[in-house]
């Protein structure tokens, strides 16, 4: 610390003292405090010359991460020390060997899991996905790696305001795509909610601000409503002698946004915007009984929605979440969600797996559930040949999924994600059973493999030794275990076929007196443009490769004379790609200017998945085969592109123009009536002079739904069209679909 300036010392020591206060209950011995102090001093010295984008000394970031670990997640001394050290190997001259020598092997393993891979320049790979995979590989050995990474990501999101807008979108997209679902799966509800809200703030700033403003404006009304709603409940609960607390809360901004988007409703139309949580101070053996007593009191006053009762106390979620949920109708006609839980359940709901170890009576039950999930991850990890992006997709599959509860013929309870099929159930029992599955009996009735299961189903699997996995199975399984097993089996089948291709190739080499060596096979891969021998041999076995070309490239020594040099065009292309990524991907701060033909910076095309138009917030994405594609920042694919391939995302912006027309699609609904179609066509082609490509409208039972495809100039032009469409009597909703 001696080499820091006095002003920096004050900032750093204030942050460090805050960490010590927050971690007081986890520092049970003087050795713990000395251990944390040692990590702090080491990290402070290693990061001494570094500063954050905000201008603060860099060491304030590791301190903040360590504080989140202990204060908000509930981790102990080892996690605090590793959080303080988490960036040393990646960003300074410190090595993993230094960490092991000074702190120990355990700390080295954790820091290694938190250190990013330094990837080489390669358009076909994803650095983000590789780094996420590396971190997940540590999960079966030490879950603290994931907790520290989530704390690191949460602090980065809290301080994202100091970054450039395009960097903000990339980091926020990655957070929403990978880290928020992971926090959810580990039961870190508070972390998950904040990550989602902060991600939305940067990926959809207008939508975020609109919802946040409406929540602020309605805060007093909500508080008054909640107060009136819980008043009779308090009086009755006081009579029971139960110790409790009640608090009302709005749903998170992200969950409100999701409901608006998925259900196509307005903010005002969300029926369960209000939620009331009743938290009981009960002994663990009385929690279930007391929760149902509270439920009885609530339903004596308010009518419950029978379809919205969720008993996660009897059957906790696989992330350990326990609570009793119901939705009831208030006297003013508003639906209110009621969550009933104990203080123990509430802490676990907020801090997830890290909180379970405090409660010894429930530790074994929760450990079993967590171990079951870890075993699924282990199955994925052990499949070394899985492509990184496939690994991420398989891993993500079950992170957010709602759960169903099904039974074996013997009455054993199994938890599966919603939409799971009979085949998913078979693989959940055992991989070999899944591979041999030919059908199932659901509640004693025969069903196909693709039959979707519902909660309460009793499932019996029918197998045959003649059955083998089919590629079509991937179309209807939803669990990562099923998908990884099927893919692995299919690869094994490909390997068997490829062996025949390899034998064919060897015979061809022998006939031409060519040595079958790794070097010659490598030359052949380049010649036929294959990435690995397996793909080449498989195609040979399928009869899709013309091996007669080999004869043309024989050298007298029995070797292939084929060292395919990089063509000048390819070298030029790689150089161009590097320059594009450097100039428009971040380093020089330039943007691709769209719509100005006088600026021939780079060639681009507009992505068909979201059809951007002038005025839309956009970004460029550098594809492997089709050059640069321009996407809207709210494109359905944007989060996945930015999270997996952030370095190929390029800055772009429109130059204002009105001389070009762009095709857009607008969906509208309403109450059927006379003259609506005539009013609409008169407005579009007459008043607004817009060229219509197509207009489709269908009516059923007095309700109509239509789609208009028209050519417009920019977003201002589109907004004008949509506002005037909303003014036509009978039209209730108007929404841009692309």
Q: Are strands 628-632 and 604-606 parallel, antiparallel or unpaired?
A: parallel
Q: Measured between alpha carbons, how far apart are the two ends of the chain, in Å?
A: 56
641/609 Cα distance (integer angstroms): 13
Contacts of 569 (CB under 8 A, 6+ apart): none
User: Phi then psi for 389, rounded to 5 degrees?
Assistant: -70, -35
CA 259 – CA 267 distance, rounded (Å): 9
Query: Which tokens go with 500?
Result: 């025949």
| Backbone phi, psi, residue 735, to 5° | -140, 135
Sign for the CA dihedral angle at 376, 377, 382, 386 comes to: positive
Is 90 one of the catalytic residues?
yes
In sequence order, the 6+-apart residues with CB closer than 8 A to the CB of 13 are 1
What are the DSSP calls for 261-319, one per residue?
Answer: HHHT--GGG-TT-EEEEEEE---GGGHHHHHHHHHHHHHHHSEE-GGG-EETTTS--TT
Question: Is 205 buried (19+), middle (13-18) or exposed (0-12) by CB count in 10 A?
Answer: middle
How many Å is the maximal CA-CA distance in the chain? 100
Contact 695, 708 (CB under 8 A): yes
Active site includes 127? no
Mode of pairing for the β-strands spanning 662-671 and 649-654: unpaired
* Cβ contact 99:73 at 8 Å: no
Q: How far apart are CA 352 and CA 74, in angstroms?
A: 9
**Residue 274: beta bridge partners?**
250, 336
Nearest CA-CA partner of 182 in 254, 112, 129, 132: 132
CA distance 244 to 267: 31
Question: Catalytic: which of 31, 90, 300, 555?
Answer: 90
Give the span between the Cα atoms of 653 and 631, in whole angstroms: 11
- Measured CA to CA, the distance from residue 439 to residue 426 in angstroms comes to 9
| Options 32, 56, 71, 91, the catalytic residue | 91
Contact 253, 211 (CB under 8 A): yes
CA 507 – CA 526 distance, rounded (Å)? 20
Alpha-carbon distances, residue 308 vs 161, 334, 336, 340, 400 (angstroms):
39, 14, 11, 14, 19
| CA-closest candidate to residue 148, choices 95, 52, 75 | 75
Q: What are the distances in angstroms from CA 237 to CA 227, 233, 277, 326? A: 15, 6, 14, 17
The Cα angle at residue 1 between residues 73 and 63, in degrees rounded to 5: 10
> What is the signed CA dihedral for 594, 599, 602, 607, rounded to 10 degrees?
20
DSSP string of 410-454, one letter each residue: T--EEEEETT-BHHHHHHHH-HHHHHTEEEEEETTEEE-TTPBP-
State how far the Cα of 76 lies from the Cα of 22, in Å rounded to an integer: 11
Describe the chain by its helix, strand, coil percentages, rounded to 5: 55, 15, 30
DSSP H helix total and E strand total for the chain: 29, 20
Catalytic residue ranges = 90-91
């Amino acid at each position: 610390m001696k080499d820091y300036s006095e002003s920096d010392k004050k900032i750093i020591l204030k942050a460090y003292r805050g960490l010590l206060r927050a971690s007081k209950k986890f520092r049970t011995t003087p050795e713990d405090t000395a251990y944390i102090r040692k990590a702090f001093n080491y990290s402070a010295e290693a990061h001494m010359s570094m500063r954050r984008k905000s201008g603060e000394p860099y060491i304030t970031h590791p301190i903040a991460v360590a504080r989140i670990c202990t204060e908000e997640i509930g981790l102990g001394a080892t996690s605090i020390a590793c959080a303080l050290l988490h960036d040393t190997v990646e960003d300074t001259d410190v090595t993993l060997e230094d960490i092991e020598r000074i702190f120990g092997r355990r700390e080295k393993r954790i820091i290694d899991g938190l250190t990013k891979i330094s990837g080489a320049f390669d358009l076909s790979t994803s650095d983000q996905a590789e780094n996420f995979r590396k971190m997940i590989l540590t999960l079966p050995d030490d879950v603290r790696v994931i907790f520290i990474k989530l704390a690191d990501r949460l602090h980065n999101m809290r301080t994202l305001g100091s970054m450039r807008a395009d960097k903000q979108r990339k980091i926020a997209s990655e957070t929403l795509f990978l880290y928020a679902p992971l926090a959810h799966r580990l039961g870190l509800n508070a972390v998950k909610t904040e990550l989602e809200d902060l991600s939305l703030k940067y990926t959809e700033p207008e939508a975020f601000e609109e919802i946040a403003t409406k929540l602020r404006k309605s805060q007093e009304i909500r508080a008054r409503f909640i107060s009136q709603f819980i008043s009779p409940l308090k009086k009755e609960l006081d009579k029971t002698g139960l110790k409790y607390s009640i608090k009302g809360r709005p749903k998170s901004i992200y969950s409100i946004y999701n409901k608006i988007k998925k259900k196509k409703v307005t903010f005002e139309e969300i029926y369960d915007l209000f939620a009331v949580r009743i938290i009981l101070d009960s002994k663990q053996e009385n929690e279930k009984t007391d929760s149902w007593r509270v439920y009885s009191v609530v339903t004596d006053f308010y009518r419950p929605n029978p379809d919205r009762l969720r008993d996660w106390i009897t059957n906790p979620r696989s992330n350990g979440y326990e609570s009793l949920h119901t939705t009831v109708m208030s006297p003013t006609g508003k639906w209110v969600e009621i969550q009933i839980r104990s203080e123990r359940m509430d802490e676990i709901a907020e801090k997830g797996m890290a909180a379970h170890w405090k409660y010894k009576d429930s530790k074994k039950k929760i450990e079993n559930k967590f171990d079951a999930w870890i075993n699924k991850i282990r199955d994925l990890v052990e499949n070394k040949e899985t492509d990184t992006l496939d690994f991420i997709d398989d891993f993500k599959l079950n992170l957010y999924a709602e759960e169903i509860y099904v039974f074996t013929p013997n009455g054993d309870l199994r938890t599966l994600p919603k939409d799971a099929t009979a085949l998913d159930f078979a693989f959940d029992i055992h991989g070999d059973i899944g591979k041999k599955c030919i059908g199932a009996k659901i509640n004693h009735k025969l069903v196909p493999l693709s039959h979707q299961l519902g909660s309460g189903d009793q499932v019996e699997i029918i197998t045959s030794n003649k059955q083998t996995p089919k590629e079509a199975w991937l179309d209807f399984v939803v669990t990562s275990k099923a998908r990884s097993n099927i893919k692995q089996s299919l690869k094994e089948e490909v390997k068997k076929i490829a062996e025949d291709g390899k034998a064919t190739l060897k015979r061809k080499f022998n006939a031409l007196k060519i040595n079958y060596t790794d070097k010659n096979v490598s030359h052949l891969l380049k010649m036929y443009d294959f990435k690995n021998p397996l793909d080449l041999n498989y195609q040979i076995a399928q009869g899709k490769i013309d091996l007669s070309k080999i004869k043309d490239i024989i050298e007298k020594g029995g070797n292939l004379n084929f060292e395919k040099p990089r063509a000048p065009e390819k070298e030029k292309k790689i150089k161009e790609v590097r320059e594009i990524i450097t100039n428009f991907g971040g380093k020089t701060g330039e943007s691709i200017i769209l719509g100005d033909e006088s600026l021939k910076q780079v060639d681009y095309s507009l992505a068909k998945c979201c059809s951007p138009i002038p005025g839309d917030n956009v970004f460029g994405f550098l594809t492997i085969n089709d050059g640069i594609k321009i996407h809207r920042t709210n494109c359905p694919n944007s989060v996945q592109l930015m999270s997996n391939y952030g370095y190929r995302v390029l800055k772009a912006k429109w130059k204002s123009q009105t001389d070009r027309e762009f095709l857009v699609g607008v969906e509208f609904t309403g109450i059927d009536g006379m003259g609506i179609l005539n009013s609409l066509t008169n407005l579009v082609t007459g008043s607004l002079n817009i060229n219509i490509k197509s207009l489709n409208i269908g009516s059923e039972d007095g309700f109509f739904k239509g789609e208009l495809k028209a050519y417009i100039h920019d977003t201002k032009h589109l907004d004008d069209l949509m506002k005037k469409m909303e003014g036509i009597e009978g039209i209730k909703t108007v929404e841009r679909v692309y």
